[in-house]
Structures are given as structure tokens and as C-alpha cells.
Amino acid sequence: MKTVKLFLAILAMAFILPAQAQSVDEILENYFENTGGLDAWKSLEGVKMNAIVNQQGMEIPLEIVQLKDGRQATTIKFQGQEIKQGVFDGETLWSTNFMTMKAEKSDAEATANFKLNTNDFPDSFVDYKEKGYTTELVGTEEFDGAEAFKIKLVKEPVTVDGNQEDDVSYYFFDTENFVPLGMQTEIRSGQAKGMISEVKFSDYQEVEGLYFAFSMSQGIKDGQSNPITFSSIEINPEVDESLFAFPEEVATEEENKN
């Protein structure tokens, strides 16, 4: 009798798992279809976004550039200065130190983890199976006042303090129009270790046939967040190569020209 029950349980799981996987794929298929089409997203070569982040009452302009080959840079304009954050040239990850205002390269662990995500442009869910990612439909729940599908995404393991850990995020897709409403992930290091980082997406607008969220907020779940409002998003922009170069490398190139 126990053998029969075990067989039935295994048989039930065999039907449930494909159904969940298919449901995830159906949600993603609707998501891409409703936001411009999967082929259009795959053909995207880069984006340049101008935005205002509201931090403790201060409005700070910033520019974000992301390219298909993994290069990216965020430029913050603050008190007449340009501060670079999360700049990646394909090999080197660097940022401006807010205290010294000098460019500093990230350590090997942070750089290696960053490289793992460079194939996620323009979206982690594009060709996720080919990347070796796995997904799971956790269920439906309310997110930011709307009913949402909760999808678990597991990517390549990242290294934290020398140890490998699963890279797990939870995405929330609107059950009516299938666009992402938000994303949550556990913070793995620093003072906020163990807390849940949360990003919310809203105000989707069309840009040359693709739909982007023009309003975001980023912070700690059930805590304070920083609203980000995008004023413009440019598709396939022309970008100066020097934007991604570490400053000392830029200086060396200028000296060689002279």
C-alpha cells in the first residue's frame, strides 16, 4: 500500500512540475509580447537612461548606460561634480569613492560576481534556460496593491566572502498585463546582510516599440526606499568609449596621443 502511495505521489509530481514550468514560460511569453516582442528585445544593442533619484529629499540627476556586450556605467551629477558608479569596461569594475572622489577598482570577488550578470542584458529572463538559470512559479500574492505571479529565479552561484552561494531572486509579475511589478533578493554582505532588497517598477511607457518602467523605487522591504523617475530612455545610443575606461588608463591614452 505504501508503495502504491509513493508511486502516486511521484506520478503527481511528474505532472505538477511540467505544469509549473510551462506556466512560468507562459507568463514570460506574455510579458515579452506585451512589452514589444522577444525578438525586439534580443536585437537591442544598448540603452541610455536619464533619471532623477530622490534621496532624503534631495533630487540627484543620473545617467545610466548599459550595452549588450556587458559594458555599463552610472554617472551621478552632484554639486557640480560627476561621480561614476558601477562602471564596467568588460574586464575592470570601478567606481568613484564618495569620500576621496578618486576612482577605485573593485576587488576580484566583486568583479567576478559582476561579470556573471553581464549576459543578462536586456533582461535576466531572455534565454534564461540557455544561460543555465532555473525558474519556479511560487504562486500568486499581492504586491504593491496588485495581484502578482511570484517567480523564483536562480542564476549562477556568486562568491560571498570566499564561499559560493546561490544567486536567488523573486520577481512579481502583474496577473493582468504580465509586466514586472517588482523584484526581491536577500542582501548577502555588509551592514544590511540578511535583509531583503526590494525594487518596484511602474509607469511603463513605450520607447521605439519597447516598453520600459519609467518609475522605480529601490530600498529595503517594508522600509525606506529611494524613488527613481526616468525622464528619457534612448535606444541603441552612440557612446564614447572613454566612458567606461578607468581614469588612469584614460590619462595614459591621452599621453600617448601627445
What CATH number did the domain enclosing 216 receive?
2.50.20.10
pLDDT digits (tens, 9 = 90+) for 126-146: 999 999 999 999 999 999 999
> Residue 6: what pLDDT?
40
Nearest partner of 203 among 174, 232, 230, 234, judged by Cα: 230
> Residue 19: what pLDDT?
37
pLDDT band at 39 (very low <50, low <70, confident <90, very high): very high
> Residue 104: what pLDDT?
97
Query: For 47-61, 149-163, 242-256, which range has the lowest pLDDT when averaged over its residues?
Result: 242-256
pLDDT band at 15 (very low <50, low <70, confident <90, very high): very low
CA dihedral 73, 170, 202, 58 (to 10 degrees): -50
> Residue 199: what pLDDT?
98
Give the chain's mean pLDDT.
90
pLDDT digits (tens, 9 = 90+) for 45-68: 999 999 999 988 889 999 999 999
Report whether pLDDT(250) > 60: no
Share of the chain above pLDDT 90, in %: 82
Q: pTM to 2 decimals?
A: 0.85
C-alpha R_g of the chain: 21
pLDDT band at 249 (very low <50, low <70, confident <90, very high): low
Question: What length is written for the chain?
Answer: 258
* Average pLDDT score over residue span 171-193: 95
> Residue 56: what pLDDT?
81
Nearest partner of 66 among 230, 198, 222, 247, judged by Cα: 230
Q: How many domains does the chain have?
A: 1
pLDDT digits (tens, 9 = 90+) for 204-239: 999 999 999 999 999 999 998 999 999 999 999 999
Range of the domain at 222: 2-257
* Average pLDDT score over residue span 91-115: 96
> Residue 14: what pLDDT?
41
